[in-house]
Amino acid sequence: MGQYPKSSRPDGTWLLIPADNMIGWTQGFFPGELWLMYDQSREPDWRTRAEAWTQPLEVQQYNVQTHDLGFKFLPSYGLAYRLTNDDYYRQVLLRAAGSLASRYNPRVGIISCCDWNPDWHLPLVVDTMMNLELLLWASRNGGQSGWRDMALNHALRTQADIVRPDGSTYHVVDYDPNTGAQLFRGTYQGYSDTSTWARGHAWAIHGFTLVYRYTRDPRMLEAAQHVTDYYLGRLPEDAIPNWDLDAPTPQKDSSAAAIIASALLELSNYVPDTDKKVAYWNAALRMLDSLGSPAYLDTADTSPGILLHGVGNFPAGQEVDVSLVYGDYYFLEAVRRFQRQTRPPLPSDWYSRFDFAAATHTLGGGNTGLQVAEFDVTPLNHPLDAVIGYADSATSVTAFSQLSMLIRMNTSGLFDVRNGAVYAATNPVPYEALSTYHVRMVTDLGAGQYSVWITPPGGAEILLADRFVFRSGAPPIDDLGQVVLKSGAVDEEYRVSGHTVGGVRSSQPGFAAGTRALGDGNTGVLVAEFDVTPRTRPLDGVIGYADSSARVTSRSALALSLRLSPAGVFDAYDGTRYAATNPVPYEANATYHVRIVADLPAGRYSIWLEPPSGPEVLLADRFAFRAGAPVTDDLGQLTLKSTTAGEFQIAGHTLRPAAGALPAP
């Protein structure tokens, strides 16, 4: 203890750095790996190890010799505080942030990286982008509010002076500390002053992303995308970069790929463009696929580390083609992030938060009377002590006691629901980490009662709460105005997707989860109307109808099918194939009105679509019911089927008799 891994040596051991080495920057990563293992497993032994390796770094909290306090403290003390809520860790983090803030030069608006290079006067290095999180976190958690401004000023200066117009990056800019004039701009660890050092560029991608996380400053999101797009445009076939993107000397750097993979999984949640969300997420997976392959993952146990082929300082001939502790840390961080988000992010994704204010989402003040709330929930850990709660739009939610309706994932690994003064379950439903459950809640605000159904993955809907009463002592509630996604211990314990209120229904990946009964009296010639809103594009989604007696397990059971096709257009099933009288394209987050006239005796149907601000278009003209579908005497079931949950939603679905039959074809 007290000696921390940095890089692998030829004899299969680690090069070690003492805990009290003030210039060294890597001591926090090994404790961080232990905390990540505890986060995933919640096994007490991992916590014991993590605590033992974290506390010797307390000696660094007053270190004013370096900018690297974020690297030292965030993986160690930062994760420790997030996972334990022990105030000891918070206090050390605040003192470390004060030490880092002491290196801020207000005239130039940057944190000086270091004092050890006599050739530099006031150096800005791209690496510091990662250390800014310590100031940003501390300003939110009891530290000085001005620390946030320091961090943002530094990031803006980095954007202006480190990032080139094409999105590539310098490594170092040196300034006159008195005038702010640039004295040098180039590299220290890269190939040349005009090249792009891969790990430095990784720090830029990750750093701008985390600064945006804390500040939501659009300039930071712009910078993150700018440097990311440049990097992805230079990515080789195996998605692992050369140590410098412009160097003629080939030497892969797995650490840079691990840092960027982790960053892109986060950044994919922030970019507004759906196509870019998917592109960033897919790029991260390409990197993880390569890093997890035998080419880069030490499956033969030839190294003390996890990843092979990392590069520390190529120009100096130091740590070339080795395992690096920080590469291992960011690889584990990326894997953990992927476990929490195993698909590209959707616009409808919400994550739980520990703080009540951050956990609260406004639903509006018009949700009165009898309301239906539907959503998918994915626990990201197990077990939890976490709540999905609802309150009136006028309530300021600061405690559980202000929530009238509460659906809980409890410490026994079960869903239950608040019934007056206690939690209970009509039929307890177990939950597992990383599985997705569909929740349907019917609330009678006038009666003060609610019922909840849970659909497990691949299973049938289960009644969890049958007419439970609102929480005893909660404030008066006459609308379903707010939903609170409250974590029990840390942020992002679970994810909610596609939350809707008021009879809005979301598509589901399973036929059982995506099918709802409409009743068995819908016979003859019928008109179905509704609004459909794709939440992504393209997708492969179907809105289908089946007889009330049919067992809907595949599309072949659906007699009538309106499709949002992978080609980005609406079409419909005509006997044996999908077709369209007049194809209608669809766009993500646009709403289309649908009118279907179904002649059940004739086995035919027509569909009209009204695009946003456009006239109604005939999509399907007297199409035949699907060949081979079960006999369809009624429109008894509605199916909303997509590849992943919430890819499209429908609202205002109605079904009524038509004035007459469809004309003969």
For residues 307 and 282, is the Cβ–Cβ distance under 8 A?
Answer: no
Phi-psi region of 456 (alpha: psi -120 to 50; beta: other; left: phi over 0): beta
For residues 425 and 252, what is the distance between their CA atoms, to the nearest angstrom? 55
Task: Provide the token pair at 114.
Answer: 């270091």
DSSP state of 305: S
CB atoms within 10 A of CB 91: 14
Among 11, 39, 45, 127, the active-site one is: 127
**Helices and strands, counts by H and E, the chain:** 14, 33
What residue type is 553 in one-letter code?
A: T
Span between the terminal Cα atoms of the chain, in Å: 83
**Strand runs (DSSP E) across 9-107, as ranges?**
14-18, 104-105
Report the chain's C-alpha Rg in angstroms.
28
Among 11, 20, 39, 68, the active-site one is: 68
Task: Provide the token pair at 610.
Answer: 């009204």
**Strand runs (DSSP E) across 88-211, as ranges?**
104-105, 110-111, 122-125, 172-175, 182-186
For residues 77 and 93, is the Cβ–Cβ distance under 8 A?
Answer: yes
For residues 550 and 544, is the Cβ–Cβ distance under 8 A?
Answer: no
Please identify which residue in the block is written with the tokens 């014991």.
Answer: 48
Pairing of strands 310-313, 462-469: unpaired
For residues 607 and 619, is the Cβ–Cβ distance under 8 A?
Answer: yes
Residue 517 burial by CB count (10 A; 0-12/13-18/19+): exposed, middle or buried?
A: exposed
Is residue 119 part of the annotated active site? The answer reads: no
Is residue 321 part of the annotated active site? The answer reads: no
Task: Provide the token pair at 618.
Answer: 């005939």
Report the greatest alpha carbon distance in the chain: 90
Phi first, then psi: what are they for 516, rounded to 5°? -130, 140
For residues 384 and 432, what is the distance between their CA atoms, to the nearest angstrom? 10
For residues 406 and 420, is the Cβ–Cβ distance under 8 A?
Answer: no
Residue 58 burial by CB count (10 A; 0-12/13-18/19+): exposed, middle or buried?
A: middle
What secondary structure does DSSP assign to 432-470, as a single string? Answer: -TT--EEEEEEEETTTTEEEEEEE-TTS--EEEEEEEEP
Please identify which residue in the block is written with the tokens 């007049």.
Answer: 582
Strand partners for 651: 531
Residue 553 burial by CB count (10 A; 0-12/13-18/19+): exposed, middle or buried?
A: exposed
Q: How far is CA 309 from the centre of its chain?
A: 29
Residue 314 burial by CB count (10 A; 0-12/13-18/19+): exposed, middle or buried?
A: buried
Residues involved in catalysis = 68, 127
